[in-house]
Amino acid sequence: MRVLVRPKAGILDPQGQAVERALPALGFEGVSQVHVGRLVELEVADPAQLPAMCEKLLVNPLIEDYEIVSIDGAPAASAAGAAG
């Protein structure tokens, strides 16, 4: 399974800003809205436990949203946009 973690919309994302500033410096124009998150890959016997794992450890639900996808790419669950 994969857990995609990204900064919540609107929250300060220093990594994203740094990348957004660095790309034009390397000559890549027209880049905006860069957000940097992280990817957690894991095998779990019971995928139903994944949301709890995310809320308790893998994700900081105060500042991050997450999305659980199975390794073949099909979305399994998402907390994007859920009430924080």
Partner 1 sequence: MSDATVPAHRVLGLTDAEYDLILDKLGREPNAVELSMFSLMWSEHCAYKHSKKLLGQLPTEGPYLLMGPGENAGAVDVGDGLAIAFKVESHNHPSAVEPFQGAATGVGGILRDIFAVGARPIAVLDSLRFGEPTGTRSRYLLEHAVGGIGHYGNSIGVPTVGGEIYFEPAYEQNCLVNAMALGIAPHDRLTRAAATGPGNVLVLFGALTGRDGIGGASVLASAELDEDDADKRPTVQIGDPFAEKKLLECSLELLDSDLLVSLQDLGAAGLTSSSSEMASKGGLGLDIHVDRVPLREPGMEPFEIMVSESQERMLCVVEPSKVDAVLAVCEKWETTATAIGEVTDSGHLRVLQGGEVVGDMPVPALVDDCPLYDLAPEKPATPTYPTAPRALKAADDDLQATLPELLGSANIASRRPVFEQYDWIVQSRTVRRPEEADAAVLTLPDGSAIAVSIDCSGRRVAADPYRGTVEAVFECAANLACTGAEPLGLTNCLNFGNPEKPHVAWQLTESVRGMADACRALDTPVVGGNVSLYNESGGGPIYPTPVVGLVGRLPEAARAGRLGFAQAGDAIAVIRAASPSLPASELAKLRGDALPDGLPQQDTGALRAAIELVRDAVRRGDVRSAHDVAEGGLAVALSETALAGGLGASIDLTQVGGSTCQSKPLDEQLFGEAPGTFIVSGSRELLASLKAPKGVALAVSIVGEVGGDTLSIAHTGGTLSWTLDELRTPRERGLGDLLDDATRLDD
- Contacts to partner 1 by CB under 8 A: 8-14, 17-18, 21, 60, 62-63, 81-84
| CB closer to partner 1, 11 vs 31 | 11
CB of 23 vs partner 1, minimal distance in Å: 14
CB of 65 vs partner 1, minimal distance in Å: 9
Provide DSSP, 17-84. HHHHHHHHHTT--S-------EEEE---S-GGGHHHHIIIII--TTTEEEEEE-TTS-EEEE-TT---
| CB closer to partner 1, 31 vs 63 | 63
